Structure 1
Amino acid sequence: MAQETQPITTIPPSLHGRVDHWNNLLWSVGSADIPPGEASIAGIGAATKLPWLPSARRVELLEYFCRDRVKAALAPELQDYLHTLNRNKPNYRLGTYFERLWSFAFRQHPDYELRHQNLPLRKDGKTLGELDFVVQHLPSRRCEHWEIAVKFYLQVARHHWVGPGLKDRLDIKLARMADHQLPLIRTPGVQSLLRDHGLQIDRQWALMPGRLFKPLNTLQQLSNHPFWWAPLSEFRALCQDQPPFASHEWLPLPKRAWLAPQGHLAGISAERLVETLRSTGFTQPLCIAAIDSSGEACRGFIVPDDWHRRAEAGLPP
């Protein structure tokens, strides 16, 4: 995977989307999970079995970090925290960045005590699994196991959603959370390992914010679903004469800018974006945000023209 320190296009970095750690923290703790509101998902049965974090808990977290005094005190600390982690243990995966935002939230919110992060469970030299977070929820006096993920999927067939890198699928992720990651703590061998750590887990939560991107040619109004994907040739045709694509400015987004919406920033024209991609041997999906006078208007993935064929080839028969 390309590191975030490398350019995502030959467009100057000053015209890329902005990575705002504090806004990304707010987005991470406040965004709804992606499965429950979307019916057209293969394996939706797995989603119904998962113990999704209640919305009231999410609201409490978001309200705390939205306070002006909390931001004034903690935003510089978050910057230093992430800088120190990346200096001591460099990791440019978006999932790791997301976990680090949550680690900071658990350490700073007065209702939580972080007991373990990425707790490995090993027996007889074999790793049985790993727990993302074990936290003490102080108001309820309950010890909680949280499994979290941040995911971005493109709709390929009616019920199948695939990661832009073609290495991930929503139904597979949901099944793994429901059938392995959450039930892990109830297996006999793991119960004894937890006792060795002095843990008695009272309840579990699943959390998976992200975005679902639908094929652009299936959307009648972007205002109803402002997340889309399109092959480069289709995007180029739309940008030649069809508003709003021709009139928007566009921001290529590095992965850490995939979370919070972008503000009103200077971008580039659709024509320049397309010609840059065509001239540089475009081979990997690119996340972009459309900017108008009020900020981010919509967001999408431009994909190589053969991406859909390759994505369909990986689906079950």
Structure 2
Amino acid sequence: MPPPGNGRLEHCHHPLVRDLAWLLLAPDLIAMPWPGRPSRRDLGLGDDERLAAWLGEREVAPDALEVHLAPALRGRMGLYHERLWQFLLAESPDTRLLAHNLRIPQGKRTLGELDLLYCQHDDPHPVHLEVAIKFYLGLPQGPGAADSQARWIGPGGADSLAAKREHLHRHQLTLASSPEARETLRLLLSPRWPTGPDGPAPEVAARLAMPGALFYPWHDKMPPPREATPDHLRGHWLYARDWYRLRDGLPGDTLGAWLYKPHWLALPRSEALQPLRDLEAQLAQHFTAPAYPVQLALWQPDRGWRRVFVVADDWPRQIPLPPRP
């Protein structure tokens, strides 16, 4: 499947700007019964020319983006994704970032955090945006029905689409409507809210952004998980022992790149690609001992891009339990 907005991405050279562009263009993985992410139009970037100009400004002067993302370049994938959203909501023409990682206290304990709180420039009503970026691999045999979200697990086997979905639905996306959150928001927003500090807390809408990719088993057929969006990004996963069978079916001019966290978002530019024989040498060395899964980007001139996860022959070593009903 071609990467989202590939033509627009090709105009971006800076890797952080490319990831920012990817975030603006990538579809979400699933459609839950909650409103989705702010659209490009909400951000003031709905027009293609305006989007290209806005990204071009960051290409010419990337300092602010580099400084903002620097603390996340060696951290969790989720932290990098969150900071991209912080920058996007703060710097887009039509949105204002009000708060991020807003702690909601309940006495001496923390009830949770709101990832992002923002509003439109022409509408003061706050919006809570919960964000998650996920790369899940599908198990043709696993818990539940063939389309169960519990069959889609992270590369490390520690989490699943089902568990993440339920946590978002039951806790994170309802958090802003709790009495504790409403009081926190009243204190935070009262200086700018028309009713003043003694008025009621403003109503807060909740939205979800959950981009990423779903990797289908190369060796078997499997349907998409329940609630998957029609245009979600797809790839394949395969065991290390099957790599040469996959390679033998690829055109001889196929090139590739080893993707390193946190740069799993935008696929690399052509100058970063290697011949497959170079990737094979790295894979052979990597899987001589117990090893973590590896994500590759493969480029075929006549077919375009494909994402591939290569996993150890004994993967997965653990499967998360499905969430309780």
Question: CA–CA distance in 2 between the matches of 1:70 and 1:56?
Answer: 12
Query: Once the 2 structures are TM-superposed, how far is the Cα of residue 82 of structure 1 from its aligned partner?
Result: 4.0
Secondary structure at the aligned position of 1:218 is classed as coil
CA drift at 1:56: 6.6
Deviations 1:6-60 (A, max 9, x none): xxxxxxxxxxxx9711121111122211013xxxxxxxxxx2x322236574785
In structure 1, the partner of 2:163 is 172
Question: How many residues of Structure 1 are paired with residues of Structure 2 in the alignment?
Answer: 281
Residue 225 of structure 1 deviates from its aligned partner by: 7.7
Between Structure 1 and Structure 2, the one with more helix by share is 1
Whether 1:227 aligns to 2:235 is yes
Give the whole-Å Cα distance in 1 for the aligned partners of 2:163 and 2:179. Answer: 25
* TM-score, scaled relative to structure 1: 0.78
Q: Once the two structures are superposed, what CA deviation does each residue of 1:260-281 show, in whole Å capped at 9, x if it has no partner?
A: 1333235333344233322343
Gaps of 5+ in 1: 1-17, 37-46
1:204 counterpart letter in structure 2: A
* Paired residue secondary structure (1:147): strand
Consecutive unaligned residues in structure 2, runs of 5 or more:
1-12, 141-145, 191-201, 223-231
Shift, 1:92, TM fit: 2.2
Which among 58, 71, 92 is matched to residue 55 of structure 2?
Answer: 71
* 8 Å Cα contact 2:237/2:309 also seen in 1: yes
Q: Deviations over 1:197-241 (max 9, x none)?
A: 226243121110111010012369xxx9851000110112332x3
Decide which moves more: 266-275 or 199-208: 266-275
Runs of 4+ in 1 over 6 A off after TM superposition: none
Q: Does the aligned pair in 2 maintain the 1:291–1:297 contact within 8 Å?
A: yes
CA change 1:57–1:156 in 2 (3 A) is: farther
CA distance in structure 2 between the partners assigned to 1:242 and 1:109 by the alignment: 44
**2:97, 2:64 → 1: CA distance?**
15
> Which of 177, 186, 192 lines up with 1:186 in the alignment?
177
Whole-angstrom distance in 2 between the partners of 1:262 and 1:295: 16
CA contact (8 A) 1:29 1:58 kept: no
Q: What does residue 287 of structure 1 align with?
A: 295
Tell me the C-alpha RMSD between the 2 structures: 3.0
How far apart, in 2, do the equivalents of 1:28 and 1:63 lie? 16
1:74-113 to 2 correspondences below 5 Å = 74-77=58-61, 79-85=62-68, 91-113=74-96
Judged with a 3 Å threshold, the aligned counterparts in structure 2 of structure 1 residues 95 and 62 are, in CA distance, closer, same or farther, namely farther
Distance 2:250 2:104 in 1: 54
Instruction: Tell me the distance in 1 between the aligned counterparts of 2:91 and 2:321.
Output: 42
Among candidates 260, 266, 277, match of residue 260 of structure 1: 266
Aligned 8 A contact 2:43 2:94 in 1: no
Matches within 5 A, 1:34-45: 34-36=29-31
| Distance apart, 1:172 and its partner CA | 0.8
- Give the 3 Å change call, closer, same or farther, for CA 76–124 of structure 1 in structure 2: farther
Change over 3 Å in CA distance of 1:58–1:269 after alignment to 2: farther
User: Which amino acid in the other structure matches residue 27 of structure 2?
Assistant: A
User: 2:250 aligned to 218, 243, 246, which one?
Assistant: 243
Residue aligning to 1:52: 36
Instruction: Output the CA distance in 2 between the equivalents of 1:86 and 1:60.
Output: 22
Contact 1:121-1:127 within 8 A present in 2 as well: yes
- What is the alpha-carbon distance in structure 1 between the residues aligned to residue 48 and residue 167 of structure 2? 32
| Distance of aligned partners of 1:93 and 1:81 in 2 relative to their CA distance in 1, 3 Å threshold | farther
